[in-house]
Amino acid sequence: MPDADPPLRPATAEEIAESLSFALRYAGRRRVHHADEVMARVTAERLAEHLERSGFVLMKRPDGVAPSTSRHHRQ
Percent of the chain with pLDDT over 70: 80
45: pLDDT strictly greater than 60: yes
Q: Cα–chain-centroid distance for residue 9?
A: 13
15: pLDDT strictly greater than 80: yes
Element (H, E) at 23: helix 13-25
**Distant-in-sequence contacts of 24-29, Cβ < 8 A, 24+ apart:** none
> Cα(12)–Cα(14) distance, rounded to whole angstroms?
5
Mean pLDDT of 58-69: 77
pLDDT for res 67: 67
